[in-house]
Chains A and B, each alone.
Chain A
Amino acid sequence: MEALWLSMKLAGYVAAILLVVGMPIAYWLAYSTWRWKFLLESVVALPLVLPPTVLGFYALLAMGPRGPLGKLWIALFGHGLAFTFGGLILASVLYSFPFAVQPLVASFEGVDRRLLDASAVLGAGRARTFLKVILPLSLPGVVTAAVLSFAHTLGEFGVVLMVGGNLAGVTRTVSIDIYDRVQSLEYSAANRMALVLLVISFAVLSVVYALNRRVWTPWTAK
């Protein structure tokens, strides 16, 4: 259960960070008219298609004492990033990036432009328009982004395997724990954990799909 709690904690941090970091990026992606925007869109979507081994490999090298990130981290905190909870958070933020940003972009883009124009005409600045018009209208998208990045991080395996070092209470997430138990032939213990994860994942996805059902959303102004 320690592993499950650790995974939950990791997923919670990652979802929170991704909302904060993802919002401005999603805003820019939704409203920018820059002709090369597609390049950034591709970068954001990369973790969807890259195998975790690619991300894990580069993360491990970057976090090491010879990597840029590792050097910086050692200078700041006196120890490396690999095998730490912080390292896992960083790797997971990268890994779950599109799962937060894409729903945000989609919902920002879905806001009626006339409302934004009206807001501007009435004298509201961009920040005010974002907070008072875009954000409330995009609430289902925001919740979807949070829930999906949470769930995706909960199910992360490859990257954690490559940079985690399997430390109980620090980097041994639930997926690693299940893998270990299967290898140790403790099938019933593996099964218990796997079932719990299955139920949680189902519940989380149900929330997402329920939220995206039109009938339930109070914001059907469009």
Chain B
Amino acid sequence: MEIRVAAAADLKFAMDELSEKFEKQTGMKVSVTYGSSGNFFSQLQNGAPFDLFFSADMEYPKKLESAGLAEPQTLYEYAIGRIVIWTPTDAKVDVTKEGWKSLLDASVAKIAIANPEHAPYGRAAVAALQKAGIYESVKAKLVYGDNISQAAQFVQSGNAQAGIVAKSLAVSPAMRDGKRWEIPADMHPALEQGAVILKDAKNKDAARAFLDFVKTPPGRAILATYGFEVPIKAKQEEKR
């Protein structure tokens, strides 16, 4: 029995761990495909064979729901994402001290973000830059990753000198060594992330079981390890 999950790229490491734990507990197999939420949304509208969709925002799952492509009542806000400015260890600026100012530094020629046209993390990055009042000054430095993973890879490989990436990726093994500065949560619209079970899911019970696992304290603890905030609504459920 296999659960096919489409997951936003920011979930790469957290979802690997979630599915691994779930597989150990239940013996069911979870196969996860990572990509940009917008791309998945477009594919799901055209009948992509997934059981569960973990988006990087609430909009796409809501749209799927209103288009009748999602199983009713399954929309669940599983996490709130955070973004950080990340630089490699050999960067000439210290982002932990300089914060926003580091992006204006002459040594930073390129800043990688996710494509704001279809990646929620890209939209958050642009909103935060605007709020910080430096969007116009750094606009010419921006390069766009197809999704947040690619943006992270652009800066991790050193091709961009700084990046605005998901905290969940910045704390991952490959990027843990770099320097990061957390962008205050109030500087961009909250990155509320929702999941839905899809109407055409082959295996709805198994998909439900996996989603339920994500809602449990151990599931949420894994998300928290990767820098996600656990949404308030979910906390209330926990109390009940």
Interface residues of A (CB under 8 A from B): 60-61, 63-66, 70, 79-80, 82-83, 161, 163, 165-167, 180, 182-185
Contact = CB atoms under 8 A, between A and B. Distances in A.
Contact of A83 (B38, B42, B143): B143
Interface in B115-140: 115, 117-118
Contacts of A64: 157-159
B160 interface: yes
B228 interface: no
Interface string B24-65: 000000000000101101100100000000000000000000
A183 B120 CA distance: 12
Interface residues of B, number: 22
Given A165-B143, A183-B36, A183-B42, A80 B157 contact: no
Nearest to B151: A165
Contacts, number: 61
Given A161-B146, A180-B117, 9 more contacts: A60-B153, A60-B157, A60-B159, A65-B158, A80-B159, A165-B110, A180-B118, A184-B118, A185-B45
A83 B159 contact: yes
Contacts of A65: 158-159
Contacts of A60: 153, 157, 159
A80 B109 contact: yes
B143 A166 contact: yes
Nearest to A66: B158
Contacts of A70: 158-159
A35 to B, nearest CB: 40
Contacts of B39: 183
B227 interface: no
A184 B42 CA distance: 8
B219 interface: no
